[in-house]
Amino acid sequence: MARIGVAISGGLSASDIVECVKLAEDLGYESAWVAEGHGGDQFAVLAACAQVTSRILLGTSISSVFVRTAPTIAMAAATVDDLSQHRFILGLGSSHRVQVEPEHGVTYAKPITRLREYVAVIRQLLRDDVVSYQGETIAIERFELWFTPSRREIPIYLAAVFPKMMQVCGELAQGVILTRSTLETGRQVAEQVAIGARRAGRQPEDIEITSLLPCSVDTDRQAAFDIMRPGVALYAGFFPRYNRLMAASGFAEAAERIRELWTRGEHDAAIRAVPDALIGTTGVVGTPDACRERIEAYRQSGITVPIISPFSRGPEGKARVMAAIRACAPSHSL
């Protein structure tokens, strides 16, 4: 069966997310991923998902290394891994300065170094039950687990947007989590991952390449695109890193225009400035048939596990997510 995942990034209640993940398992999805941000406690939601599923992999996409301590993440990961009978994947990332500092009151500095140090601490703690660590960004005098993890090594996937972090994924991780990929991204990422893997004496093919893909499915093609437009405007207007990503994807002029309008507070104008081509190039959008064709194109391009991320906010959020899960299910694969 064709490999595919589903991610939920906010908008739904915890119980609604659990229901959607159960549906995804029933329809043959390989993995389900839960973001955090403003959408609820991802580890608690995944623990609930673990109780009503038996096969689907469960992952964080992503857990920020700036808003939880490394031991806290390690304990949460071990807990969900035990409850899911070893179906858990820990997705880690650095999040964004524009969120971390104003929203959490935490200084954002040396994100790649911090990510490396979190991976080291988490792995040592799960392996040895105790860790002492002195790094550039974190210092732990001593932390000891008062329980025994049921699995000593949990797969860690790292979020990456640009080449430097992609190489770090090749060095350290079992997988890379991309976002808003184009059909050229898979090949480009594989090259960078291979550089990092070889530097660390690893085999590049051992690192999974996944991507979160914004998704909107509707029998009315234009309606599907219009649903996605506000989200694209937010990402291009508010997040500098994603603005750079969209510019690098061939939409430099549009990305700059959206950023300018968003910065001036002209959000409605920024939404109108998002072209259909940008939406379609960096996601899975349109009629059910078009979305299935797009997912297959991502697989052929080198994204080994496409992860649809349906737009889930608003009163129709749950219905949209379930419709996307049904429309893109592996049984429909070309």
| CB-CB contact of 190 with 196 (8 Å) | no
* CA–CA dist 179, 303 (Å, integer): 11
Same domain, 139 and 102: yes
| Residue 8 reports pLDDT greater than 70 | yes
Domain count, the chain: 2
Same domain, 181 and 240: no
Give me the helix-helix angle, 163-172 and 111-128, nearest 10°. 10
* Sequence-distant (≥ 6) Cβ neighbours of residue 223 within 8 angstroms: none
Query: Tokens 């038996």 map to which residue?
Result: 54
Six-digit token pair at 29? Answer: 């999805």
- pTM, 2 dp: 0.96
CATH code of the domain covering residue 298: 3.20.20.30
| Residue 333 reports pLDDT greater than 60 | no
Mean local confidence (pLDDT), 100-116: 94
Same domain, 96 and 161: yes
151: left (phi over 0), alpha (psi -120 to 50) or beta: beta
Same domain, 167 and 254: no
Q: Residue 86, Cβ neighbours under 10 Å: how many?
A: 12
Mean local confidence (pLDDT), 81-102: 94
Same domain, 233 and 315: no
Same domain, 96 and 75: yes
| Residue 97 reports pLDDT greater than 90 | no
| CB-CB contact of 303 with 211 (8 Å) | yes
Same domain, 38 and 173: yes
* Per-residue pLDDT tens digits for 211-221: 999 999 999 99
Look at residue 36 in the predicted model and tell me its pLDDT. 87
pLDDT over 90 percentage in the chain: 91
On average, the pLDDT of the chain sits at 95
Domain extent at residue 253? 220-286
| Residue 187 reports pLDDT greater than 60 | yes
| Residue 99 reports pLDDT greater than 90 | no
Q: Is 183 helix (H, G, I), strand (E, B) or coil?
A: coil
Same domain, 166 and 231: no
311 band by pLDDT with thresholds 50, 70 and 90: confident
Same domain, 193 and 122: yes
| CB-CB contact of 45 with 61 (8 Å) | no
Name the DSSP letter for residue 177: E
Same domain, 230 and 280: yes
- At 273, the amino acid letter reads A
334 band by pLDDT with thresholds 50, 70 and 90: very low
Same domain, 115 and 129: yes
| Residue 332 reports pLDDT greater than 80 | no
Same domain, 182 and 277: no
* Sequence-distant (≥ 6) Cβ neighbours of residue 241 within 8 angstroms: 96, 161, 162
Nearest to 181 by CA among 290, 80, 306, 87: 306
* CA–CA dist 122, 71 (Å, integer): 7
Mean local confidence (pLDDT), 256-262: 97
